[in-house]
Structure 1
Amino acid sequence: MNILSSLQIINIDAICLHEDHEPQRLDKTCKAIQQSGELCHPPIAMQMRDGRYLILDGAHRTGALQRMGCKRIPVQLARAEDIMLEAWDHIVSAGPWLSALKQQGHVYEDVRSHDQPAIVTITADDGSTYCLAPRNDKAHWWQRLEIWHQIVDSYSRHGAVTRVAQNSSAALEKGQVRVTSPVYTMAELEEVVLAGKTMPAGVTRFKINGRLLNLKIPLHWLADPMFDSEEWESYLSRRASSIRLYSESIYLCEA
């Protein structure tokens, strides 16, 4: 398979997102793209059954291009067999956000198993674990989703959020908690988006084989009302000679 054939230019109006933005991260991403004048890493997308394209990875890059008024966006279309959907754990400082959240009456603390799955599970720095469950045992999925948004928004406003893989053994510092979210399937995620809803910011984690990186696509192509398809094809031809596949493990410093 020619990996560059998975790269498509899509009208930005045909793009939809499955998760909220983190405001500070969006500002940082927008500034970085504007300064470089290039989009280094194309977002990863899949086409939904209604014809629109769902961004799987790259919500903040997509949001930055939307903010800058771009007319189109380059995306790498992923095949279903190359996608694995997981979830990020969030490490945050414990604080008044948790007690304030419970006082709102939507959730309660539960150390036992519950008729409904927990909205999130929280691990404290002393190793104790409990879950936040909806007070309404018969809460519909969209009500659970709204409460999940409230939980993530509460601690995101309180301080920095560190994402870690759910199978990692990251140690908690004193005063920190680890928030574990449920893992959705791709079918469930698509249903959320088709219903006009989104996931909370930074909870979905996609592992995708064959990711295209460092393409450095000129920003002016994406903002120009007229798209020059010949210039795009010429760009792809030049890039084809510099694509390298690394099969061994790579450690990338993203600082």
Structure 2
Amino acid sequence: MNPGSLNVLIADPVHEDGVALLRQHATVDIRPGLSRSELEQIIGNYDALIVRGTTKVPASVINYGHRLRVIARAGAGLDNIDVSAARVQGVEVVNSPDANTIAVAEHTLALMLALARRLIAADQSMKAGRWEKSQSMGSDLSGRTLGIIGFGRIGRQVAKRAQAFGMRVIVNQPRLTPELALEWGVEQRDLPDLLRESDFVTLHVPMRPETEGLIGANELALMKPTAYLINTARGGVVDEPALLTALEEGRLAGAGLDVFEHEPNVDSALAGHPKVVATPHIGASTEDAQRAAALSVVEQVLAVLRRQRASETLALKIVPLEKVVPHEAFDPRRVADLAARLEEEGRLVNPPVVAEWGDHYVVLDGATRTTALKQLNFPHTIVQVVSPEEDEGVQLHTWYHAISGGEVSSLLKTLQHVPGLKLTAVPVDHIQEAMRARNALAYLLTADNRGFLLEVAPDAEGDWLDVLNATVNCYTGWGRVERTLVTDRDVLRAQYPEMVALVVFPQFTPESVLRIATEGRVMPAGITRFVIPGRVLRLNAPLQRLRADEPLGAKSAWLDHLVQEKLARRRVRYYQEPVVLLDE
């Protein structure tokens, strides 16, 4: 799994050609046999999920998939995926209904032939060393009537092949037009009449509430005692106990079953019945069908992942607030004031800007906003994600601190009481070089033209960051601190006549600042300044929806619609030039 790339989870085995194609464009993890709880724990790391028929994808799994864009079934059915839950969260669901059509149709005819010609019993007798020709008397398909329930892709291909055997085909399909029946050479029947007339009945309907138990005791009672039932659709379409009873009582000649209500099903009395030809759900299990299914869903998955959401064009996303961390200290009073304003106004005007670093989102601008939302117990927030590594326009500058408010001697005496801090006098002309050579925290230039290195004392209990934070907190409490990028003292004296000292810090790198934040620590306030091009402003997102108790995926879908609407009405601003916002 790669946090910076597209990540796809394959939870059931799929053809290797599909996996190879996918790996050209995404990071792929293949993890078959996951339990529901295991899937819930990891699905939040993936943009796409690919399954076949084994792995179930209920609403609970989808709710945890806050990055999930698409769920794919490498096959025809979708009964193992909660499609409604996926739609609520804006997750697309795709499958490959055409890929296995021919394979399932051919398997249906294979089961019909096996039953009609008693092939299984004949084979077993031969393997047992018996020549039982008379007991293997079968019947022709030619001249018989085939009833097809469900005349979709597979049903039509079954009809085509059955007609090649000389069979008459009747079908039961809601809203079957006369033109379609004429095109395929079939006759429409209602279900009771189809069951009465057919010598073979084959099922090709999806598993839905209205098709569950479609063939039960009453329907089986309508069939001829010489008829055969074929099911390559879904096991739940047939009432299995009723079918077993009909077979044992001699009211049905036999059944060909590739699917069962509960799978895997190896100890079933139905599968073991001598009048049943049973296969372990292999209707679509041909090399050609599996390759076609895999390639089909992979192409659809990649198409979805390549398609940018409206929110993604502006690099906006909704993330859990617990994963958002500040990189610098914040003023609790400003946080309290902003929290009160957010409650009153009910909207997030400008989304905070963050960098994704490991498993966290580090705030580059907007620490007061995110901290206020945390204090208000919001579960999620909207952020604008930038990448300091990839976007050359994102720059980190270091502020210097101009200190005013008292006498130089008073300031120096106060700093000497900072735990772990050592002040070393250095000539002003050599102080920059000394700071670099000795890896000092900073240097201080006083109004009376003296210079001091601010270093970590050998006996300091904390590390450099602890001492740096204590130092900044100390002089911030002593006097008034202004942030500046200027080091020329004549210019500074003109701007700040009461300035007694200037603190100059070394230049920090974005990587060091981000690493500190993800360790749960912060830089002192007012040292780092990120300059960020391409700012999204005036989003004015309603906070009520962010506070709502609903899955992250549903909120992400809402954000996408919100951004689409605002872009269409030009109610959101995007500034390509660098913008510096003093936090709200």
TM norm structure 1: 0.83
Percent of pairs identical after alignment? 25
The alignment covers a number of residue pairs equal to 252
Choose 175-184 or 63-72, whichever is displaced more: 175-184
Match of 1:217 among 513, 516, 541: 541
Q: What is the aligned partner in structure 1 of residue 513 from structure 2?
A: 189
Cα distance in structure 1, aligned partners of 2:449 and 2:371: 37
SS for the counterpart of 2:377 is: coil
Contact 1:87–1:165, Cα closer than 8 Å, also in 2? yes
Q: What is the aligned partner in structure 2 of residue 174 from structure 1?
A: 498
Contact 2:534–2:577, Cα closer than 8 Å, also in 1? no
Contact 2:444–2:502, Cα closer than 8 Å, also in 1? yes
Q: Normalized per residue, which structure has more strand?
A: 1
- Aligned-partner residue type, residue 11 of structure 1: P
After TM superposition, the structure 1 = structure 2 runs for residues 27-106 of structure 1, keeping only pairs within 5 Å, are 27-49=336-358, 51-80=359-388, 81=391, 82-95=393-406, 96=410, 98-104=412-418, 106=421
Encode CA deviations 1:37-71: one digit per residue, 9 max, x unaligned: 2211111111112x221111111111111111111
Deviation at 1:250, TM superposition (A): 8.6
Shift of the 30–118 alpha-carbon distance from structure 1 to 2, 3 Å rule, reads same
Cα distance in structure 2, aligned partners of 1:189 and 1:175: 29
Match of 1:200 among 524, 528, 533: 524
Does 1:145 pair with 2:456? no
Q: Normalized per residue, which structure has more helix?
A: 2
Choose 22-31 or 57-66, whichever is displaced more: 22-31
> What RMSD in Å do the two structures reach over aligned CA positions?
3.2
Is there any run of 5+ residues in structure 1 with no aligned partner, and where? none
Match of 1:110 among 409, 425, 428: 425
Shift of the 237–173 alpha-carbon distance from structure 1 to 2, 3 Å rule, reads same
Encode CA deviations 1:98-144: one digit per residue, 9 max, x unaligned: 412213462213225254223122233455543322232x989x711
Deviation at 1:166, TM superposition (A): 4.8
Cα distance in structure 2, aligned partners of 1:250 and 1:186: 18
Cα distance in structure 1, aligned partners of 2:545 and 2:398: 34
Larger Cα-atom Rg: 2
TM norm structure 2: 0.39
Choose 143-152 or 77-86, whichever is displaced more: 77-86
Cα distance in structure 2, aligned partners of 1:135 and 1:250: 39
Shift of the 173–23 alpha-carbon distance from structure 1 to 2, 3 Å rule, reads farther
- Choose between structure 1 and 2 for higher RCO, CA contacts under 8 A separated by at least 6 residues: 1
Contact 2:366–2:583, Cα closer than 8 Å, also in 1? no
Encode CA deviations 1:16-37: one digit per residue, 9 max, x unaligned: 2222112233233323323322
Contact 1:110–1:132, Cα closer than 8 Å, also in 2? no
Does 1:7 pair with 2:321? no
Contact 2:534–2:575, Cα closer than 8 Å, also in 1? no
- Aligned-partner residue type, residue 366 of structure 2: G
Cα distance in structure 1, aligned partners of 2:581 and 2:371: 24
Encode CA deviations 1:216-236: one digit per residue, 9 max, x unaligned: 111212222225534333211
Encode CA deviations 1:138-160: one digit per residue, 9 max, x unaligned: 989x7111110111111222344
Contact 1:172–1:178, Cα closer than 8 Å, also in 2? no
